Amino acid sequence: MQNGNDPRKHTIAVLVENKFGVLSRVAGLFSARGYNIESLSVGETLDPSVSRMTLVVRGDEFVIEQVTKQLHKLIDVIKVTDLTDESHVEREMVLIRVNAEPSNRAEILRTADIFRARVVDVTPVSFVLEATGDEGKLEALIELLRPMGIQELVRTGKVAIARGPKTRVRRVEPPRKPRVTDDPKVVGFAD
């Protein structure tokens, strides 16, 4: 089989039964067939019996076609969607602990401000920054912080969702009565 086009990154959303062993079925498929996962994130959906995985895979059209078919062949996989060529939003979060010498502190805070990153921990010698965005934005932030000395860095892997009105929510939930425990401060928490 000749490769029709060049490899590129694809973002694939996979709805799976929320059962034990599903993650290893998916991961095992990739290792068994020699495909590479660049990132993978998993979480419950509105329906607690369904989990959603967001996979970032690099491959040409032929590889991606096989990846989606093989994923779909797994018994616990409900739905596979390649979001790459659909209109969608992708986000990833990164936590960065960076050296914060007195001479750099102001610069780091300015940079954080430009990238709408938040400082979530401060010590006399370091900051921990939390930033959210697409891959390009996070890469740019990391590059700018690198000269200051990044001590440690952790990324969540990408999550992605199609833009409206198309939606991948499997059912519409009835409006929920506000509970007393609902903290109004939490609403609108996300920027």
Partner 1 sequence: MRMPGARIVLECLKRQGVDLIFGLPGGAVLPIYDALYDFKGLRHILVRQEAAAGHAAEGYARTSGRVGVCLVTSGPAATNLVTALQDAMMDSIPIVAFTGQVPTHLIGNDAFQEADNVGITRPCTKHNFLVKDGNDLGPIIREAFHIASTGRPGPVHVDLPKDILVKEWDLIWPDQVHMRSYNPNYEGHPGQIKRAAKLLARAKQPVLYVGGGVISADASAELRELAELGQFPVTQTLMGLGSFPMEHPLSLDMLGMHGSYYANMAVHHSDVLVAVGARFDDRVTGRVDAFAPNAEIVHIDIDPSSISKNIKVGVPIVGDCRRVLVKLVEALREELRDESPPTVREARRQWAALIAQWKRDFPFQYEWSDDVVKPQYVVQEISNATGGEAFIVTGVGQHQMWAAQYYKFKHPRMWCTSGGLGTMGYGLPTAMGVQAANPGKLVINIDGDGSFQMNSQELATCFTEGLPVKTVIINNSGHGMVRQWQRIIYKERYCAIDLPGIPDWVRLAEAYGCVGLRVTKPSELVPAIEKMISTPAPVVLDVCVDKDECVFPMVPAGGANTDMILALPTRDVRDKAAKSQTGF
Report the interface residues with partner 1, using CB under 8 A: 1-2, 16-17, 21, 24-25, 28, 32, 62, 65-66, 69-70, 72-73, 75-78
Nearer to partner 1, 15 or 138 (CB): 15
From the CB of 69, what's the least distance to partner 1, in Å? 4
From the CB of 10, what's the least distance to partner 1, in Å? 17
Q: Name the token pair of 118.
A: 């938040």
Nearer to partner 1, 20 or 189 (CB): 20
Q: What angle do CA 152, 154, 155 make, to 5 degrees?
A: 150
Buried b (16+ CB within 10 A) or exposed e, 114-139: ebebeeeeeeeebbbbebbbebebbe
Nearer to partner 1, 9 or 25 (CB): 25
Q: Which of 52, 60, 144 has the alpha carbon at shortest distance from 98?
A: 144
From the CB of 31, what's the least distance to partner 1, in Å? 9
